[in-house]
């Protein structure tokens, strides 16, 4: 396991606060309220460990297959439905949405090989990520990957807790399947907009792993 570079500053800040708070507590109350100092030590240590865990990148055997769409994120499949995309395709697509809780790995990965033909950030609201309106009203970053005649839109969506979307792609860039393309901090959602008729390999409420689970066939 390694730590994502997006987490270095957050982990450093959390560690500094942890040290300062606990040094002051034990200095001021260590002899009179030791039980309170120990309790707060354990609570603040748990928070630091949670932040470290949030930015983890576990060692995994990634799935590479030119004829398959691979999950772009860890989480639970919360939507499988046909939906009209008003942003790019202007027509119906098959939408698969993955909800990422704060406990999930938050690295986002390319679902297919291809070229980035569209990349746009949208300011927006911070509705809870499982709200159907979050796909079109929340802060989000949309990317379209094209491989041959197939185009797939991948949408990073901020949630009620997540307030920072990181996206590393640029229009014209060639990308490799399962390579990292972004990160969303502290709970969020990723939507896939696929061609109608895509044969899916996942079901509603199924847990998936980014870069590992097969979403469907191209």
- Please list the active-site residues: 188
160 class by beta-carbon count within 10 Å (0-12 exposed, 13-18 middle, 19+ buried): middle
CA dihedral sign of residues 115, 140, 168, 215? negative
DSSP single-letter state for residue 104: S
CB 108, CB 141: distance < 8 Å: no
Please tell me the distance from the alpha carbon of residue 162 to that of residue 189, in angstroms, as a whole number: 9
Q: What is the distance between the alpha carbons of residues 132 and 128, in angstroms, rounded to a whole number? A: 9
């Amino acid at each position: 396991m390694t730590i994502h570079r997006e987490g270095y500053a957050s982990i450093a800040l959390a560690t500094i606060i942890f040290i300062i708070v606990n040094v002051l507590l034990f200095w001021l109350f260590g002899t009179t309220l030791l039980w309170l100092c120990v309790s707060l030590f354990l609570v603040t240590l748990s928070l630091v460990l949670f932040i470290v865990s949030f930015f983890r990148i576990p060692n995994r055997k990634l799935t590479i297959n030119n004829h398959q769409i691979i999950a772009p994120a860890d989480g639970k499949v919360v939507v499988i439905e046909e939906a009209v995309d008003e942003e790019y395709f202007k027509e119906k697509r098959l939408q698969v949405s993955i909800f990422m809780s704060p406990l999930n790995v938050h690295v986002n990965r390319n679902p297919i090989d291809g070229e980035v033909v569209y990349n746009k950030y949208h300011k927006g609201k911070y509705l809870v990520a499982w709200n159907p309106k979050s796909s079109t009203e929340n802060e989000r970053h949309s990317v379209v990957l094209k491989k041959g005649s197939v185009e797939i839109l991948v949408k990073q969506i901020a949630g009620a807790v997540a307030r920072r979307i990181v996206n590393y792609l640029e229009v014209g860039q060639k990308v490799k399947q399962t390579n990292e393309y972004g990160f969303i901090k502290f709970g969020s959602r990723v939507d896939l907009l696929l061609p109608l008729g895509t044969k899916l390999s996942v079901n509603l409420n199924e847990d998936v792993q980014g870069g590992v689970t097969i979403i469907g066939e191209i």
